[in-house]
Structures are given as structure tokens and as C-alpha cells.
């Protein structure tokens, strides 16, 4: 294990070396912040002790720079003047611990052992998650949440048998991936898979797009054209955003499903086709049927098998796996060596609602991988998310373990102190700060002396 100590006190640096150096632990030290950062960049240590108050760069800035270099490095802040506010800031910036001078050799060894244990657990967790990302995948779809495992099970059970299927879900949930999985797991996987985005084709061209046309059937029809249904004969047709079709086109689509035949624009006779139809929509088709915007008979025909995809906000257990999957892909695409997303950034991901679902997450990770400079993506690499997510410490975030500890410390000190002035001195804060902290944690004045 490699430890770097950064402190402007040579006596304390000697203590680090005397207390920690062994066959299992190597200790390097620096008297200046910049020299220490150079050591960290060169050696990539497991643990760094950083003095909070130093000439030049202070310890908090050193912490931020180390986190930018490698978010896996554990950093312990050391100070002679403890304050709750500084401790909270250090932990939020990613410090593993925050301790006060003087530090006993036994305390130093305890910290090193804790970091060794934590590092080992993180390594095992990473290995397990890598295995999970390889196992919990269905035709390129990633998921371990109960909702997604249900989708996997349904897709696998119906793929060999369905004639029509309807995939429902918000934009960006992966409806086309599920459609391709249905095709690839079916007996027709070697046949063609045709895709039509019904929202992207103008109404006047939709019939020709789906069913084809013959030469001279309308102005501009200079040649015969094969439609998607004919082109995918013996395969599958995926109609994305089927709810965008006009009532007239819905009627023609229903005829194809009922009679298994298509008629080109301008052709006198229909032609038999054998295709499986997979439709998808982000609309509420139940409501569309009730308002007369979608044909009920087509709805019943398509809805023989229904697959509902959950939005990302309802399957947050999958976010870390999806991040790993996208990072691996963008590493190959951009020639990068990004290892992962920091815990701080992942906490922000878990607090965010992801209105754009998996597609939004993919775009956010792709941008960060392209522009990121360190081997771990930190919260600062996601500026578009940082302004919108409820990150730890914000008004919308759930209480963290650190905040719980802060509140417990306040209650204990207020109980021990004779008055608020003494409590403030014991905590190393001003009286106005003490009152603000009490208000933050809902501690009324009567709870103290």
C-alpha cells in the first residue's frame, strides 16, 4: 500500500513515516502542496494525508486536484482547528475522513487499515459489477432492476411466438432495443428487420414508405418502389411512434395485419407478405382511443402482447451498470481510458429524475467521456446535470450520513455545554453559525441550555 503525506510540518511527516512504514506500507512525503501533487500524479497512491492549512495552496484545493487526478485515491484531511463547516465541506468534496491534530500513531494505523479495507471492498464491488454488466444483458439491453428483469423474461418467452407486439414507454427508454431483441431472439433473426419512424415521415409519403408504389402512380414516381413491408417479407417490421399515424393510415395498416397483404400505391392487386409487426409509442394509446385519435380495432390488434418499459427514474438500480456500459463504449469510440464515475457524481445521478431517460444518460456520459481529463468522471464533468440535479447537501436531497452525524454532534455538544457561547467554542464556530446549524437540523433553542 502506498501512502503520501503532504504537510508543511517536518515533525508530523516524520511521525507518518515512523508510524506507518512497514513491509506492507510505503510512505512518501512532501513539505509543499505543489510538490505533493506532483508525487500523487507520479505515484498514484492509495491514500493521501493532506494538511488543511499550508502556504500556497490550501488543503481543500489540494483535495479537489487529487479528486480530478484520480477519484479512487482516498484523501484524509488533517487540521489543527476543527470546525463542522470545514469538515462538511471536505467530505462533500470527496475526503474519506477529517481528523484533528495531534494524531496518535494508533489513529494513523487505524486510518490506513480502514482505507485498505475500503479499497479492497471497492475492488471487489467493481469486479462484481463488471460481471453483472456482462450477465444482466439481453441483446444489448442493460438492467438488473426487478422491472427490467420482468421485461427480459417477457421478451424471452414471447419472442418465438408473437405475430404482433406493442412496446410502450417514454421517449428514451429503449423501445427500439427491445424491438430488435424480439427479432433477434425469434426464428426470423436471420431475416430482415425494417424500421420506420412514423413521426419522421410526412403524411403524403407514408403509404409509399410502408407499402411501396408503382411507376407513374403519382407525380414524381419515376420508378417502382418496394415498401418496408415487402422488403422485410419473412422478417420483422418495427413501427416506432405508431401513435403518430393518421386515421387513414391506421386503417390501411389494420388491413395489412388482418389480411397479411399489402397493395402498392397504383398497383391493381395486393401482394401477400409474411411479417411480424412490432409497434412502439410514447403516447397513451388508451386515451387516444377514447378521444377517437387512434382506432380501437388497430389498438386491439397491436396490443395482443404488451411490453411496458419503465422510465429510468423507476429503475435507478440500473444507473451504475448503464454508466459502466456507456463508458466502455465511449472509451472504444474516443480512445479514452475512463475507469468510471465517482461516488459523488453517482449520488447526483441517483438524485436526478432523468426526464430524457436512458438516452439522456447516454448523452451525458458521452459528453463527459469526450471532454473529461481524468480517469474518473467527477460531478464537475457534468455541468448540465449539476445545475439541475438534487445533489447531496441541496434542499431537495435526502439527508446523508454526514448530516446525520453533524446533527448528532450538535445535540451532544448542546447537552454538554452550559450555554450557547460555550457550545460554539467547543464546536469551533461562531454563535451565528451555531444558530444556523441548529435551524438547519430543526433543533429548537430549548433543546440546548
pLDDT of residue 386: 63
Is 210's pLDDT higher than 50? Answer: yes
Where does the pLDDT of residue 406 fall: very low under 50, low under 70, confident under 90, or very high at 90 and above? low
Bridge pairing between strands 212-213 and 193-197: unpaired
> Rounded distance, CA 30 to CA 32, Å?
6
DSSP structure string for 237-248: EEEETGGGS-HH
CATH 1.10.8.60 in the chain, residue ranges: 313-386
Name the phi and psi angles at 314, rounded to 5.
-100, 5
Write out pLDDT tens, residues 262-318.
Answer: 988 888 888 999 999 999 999 999 999 999 999 999 999 999 899 999 999 999 999
Q: Find the helix packing angle between 401-416 and 431-440, rounded to 10°.
A: 120
Bridge pairing between strands 164-168 and 276-281: parallel
CATH 1.10.10 in the chain, residue ranges: 401-447
**Which run of H or of E encompasses 166?**
strand 164-168
Q: What does the pLDDT average to over 100-125?
A: 85
Average pLDDT in the chain: 86
To 5 degrees, how large is the angle CA 212–CA 214–CA 218? 95
Q: What does the pLDDT average to over 217-229?
A: 80
The architecture that CATH gives domain 2-124 is 3-Layer(aba) Sandwich (3.40)
Cell triple for 132: 453483472
pLDDT of residue 318: 93
Residue 227: Cβ within 10 Å count: 24
pLDDT of residue 449: 43
Least confident of 18-22, 170-174, 245-249: 18-22
Residue 106: Cβ within 10 Å count: 9
From 1.10.8.60, 3.30.565.10, 3.40.50.300, 3.40.630.30, which CATH number describes the 313-386 domain?
Answer: 1.10.8.60
pLDDT of residue 389: 46
**Where do the H-state alpha helices sit in 197-279?**
203-211, 228-231, 247-259
Write out pLDDT tens, residues 316-367.
Answer: 999 999 999 999 999 999 898 888 888 778 888 998 999 999 999 999 999 9
Name the phi and psi angles at 378, rounded to 5.
-100, 170
pLDDT of residue 284: 92
Q: Domain 139-308: state its class.
A: alpha beta
CATH 3.40.50.2300 in the chain, residue ranges: 2-124
Burial 286-323 (b: 16+ CB within 10 A, else e): eebbeeeebbeebbebbbebebebbbbeebeebbbbbb
Q: Please give the model's pTM, rounded to 2 decimal places.
A: 0.69
Is 155's pLDDT higher than 50? Answer: yes
pLDDT of residue 391: 41
pLDDT of residue 421: 78
Is 243's pLDDT higher than 60? Answer: yes
CB distance 59 to 53 below 8 Å = yes
Residue 114: Cβ within 10 Å count: 15
Is 131's pLDDT higher than 80? Answer: no
Where does the pLDDT of residue 224 fall: very low under 50, low under 70, confident under 90, or very high at 90 and above? confident
pLDDT of residue 429: 66
Residue 380 CA to chain centroid, in angstroms? 15
**More confident: 126 or 233:** 233
Q: Is 410 exposed, middle or buried (0-12, 13-18, 19+ CB in 10 A)?
A: buried
In the chain, the percentage of residues whose pLDDT exceeds 70 is: 90
CATH code, 401-447: 1.10.10
pLDDT of residue 378: 84
> Rounded distance, CA 58 to CA 61, Å?
6
Question: Phi-psi bin for 389: left (phi > 0), alpha (psi -120 to 50), beta?
Answer: beta
**What DSSP character marks residue 312?**
G
Write out pLDDT tens, residues 15-59.
Answer: 999 999 887 889 999 999 999 999 998 998 999 999 988 888 888
Amino acid at each position: 500500500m502506498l501512502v503520501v503525506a503532504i504537510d508543511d510540518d517536518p515533525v508530523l511527516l516524520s511521525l507518518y513515516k515512523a508510524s506507518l512504514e512497514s513491509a506492507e506500507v510505503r510512505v512518501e512525503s512532501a513539505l509543499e502542496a505543489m510538490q505533493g501533487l506532483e508525487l500523487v500524479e507520479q505515484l498514484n497512491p492509495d491514500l493521501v494525508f493532506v494538511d488543511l492549512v499550508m502556504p500556497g495552496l490550501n488543503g481543500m484545493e489540494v483535495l479537489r486536484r487529487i479528486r480530478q487526478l484520480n477519484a479512487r485515491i482516498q484523501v484524509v484531511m488533517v487540521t489543527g482547528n476543527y470546525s463542522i463547516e470545514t469538515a462538511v465541506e471536505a467530505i462533500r468534496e470527496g475526503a474519506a475522513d477529517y481528523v484533528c491534530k495531534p494524531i496518535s500513531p494508533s489513529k494513523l494505523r487505524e486510518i490506513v487499515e480502514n482505507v485498505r479495507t475500503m479499497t479492497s471492498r471497492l475492488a471487489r464491488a467493481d469486479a462484481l459489477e463488471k460481471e453483472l454488466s456482462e450477465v444482466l444483458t439481453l441483446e444489448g439491453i442493460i438492467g438488473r432492476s426487478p422491472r427490467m428483469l420482468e421485461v427480459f423474461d417477457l421478451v424471452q418467452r414471447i419472442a418465438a411466438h408473437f405475430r404482433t407486439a406493442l412496446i410502450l414507454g417514454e421517449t428514451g427508454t429503449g423501445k427500439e432495443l427491445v424491438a430488435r431483441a424480439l427479432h433477434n431472439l425469434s426464428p426470423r433473426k436471420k431475416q430482415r428487420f425494417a424500421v420506420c419512424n412514423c413521426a419522421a415521415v410526412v403524411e403524403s409519403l407514408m403509404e409509399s414508405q410502408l407499402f411501396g408504389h408503382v411507376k407513374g402512380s403519382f407525380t414524381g414516381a419515376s420508378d417502382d418502389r418496394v415498401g418496408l413491408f415487402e422488403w422485410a417479407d419473412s422478417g420483422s417490421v418495427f413501427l416506432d411512434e405508431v401513435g403518430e399515424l393518421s386515421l387513414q393510415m391506421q386503417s390501411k395498416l389494420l388491413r395489412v395485419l388482418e389480411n397479411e397483404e399489402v397493395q402498392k400505391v397504383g398497383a391493381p392487386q395486393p401482394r401477400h407478405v409474411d411479417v411480424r409487426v412490432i409497434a412502439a409509442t410514447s403516447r397513451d394509446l388508451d386515451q387516444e382511443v377514447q378521444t377517437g385519435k387512434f382506432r380501437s380495432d388497430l389498438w386491439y390488434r397491436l396490443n395482443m402482447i404488451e411490453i411496458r418499459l419503465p422510465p429510468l427514474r423507476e429503475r435507478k438500480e440500473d444507473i451504475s451498470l448503464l454508466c459502466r456500459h456507456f463508458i466502455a463504449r465511449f472509451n472504444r469510440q474516443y480512445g479514452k481510458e475512463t475507469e468510471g464515475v465517482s461516488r459523488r457524481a453517482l449520488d447526483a445521478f441517483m438524485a436526478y429524475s432523468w426526464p430524457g431517460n436512458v438516452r439522456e444518460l447516454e448523452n451525458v456520459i458521452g459528453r463527459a467521456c469526450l471532454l473529461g481529463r481524468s480517469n474518473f468522471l467527477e460531478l464537475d464533468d457534468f455541468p448540465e446535470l449539476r445545475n439541475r440535479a438534487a445533489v447531496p447537501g441541496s434542499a431537495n436531497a435526502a439527508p446523508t450520513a454526514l448530516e446525520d452525524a453533524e446533527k448528532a454532534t450538535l445535540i451532544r455538544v448542546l447537552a454538554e455545554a452550559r450555554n450557547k457561547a460555550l457550545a460554539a467554542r467547543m464546536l469551533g464556530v461562531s454563535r451565528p453559525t451555531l444558530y444556523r446549524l441548529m435551524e438547519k437540523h430543526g433543533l429548537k433553542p430549548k433543546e440546548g441550555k
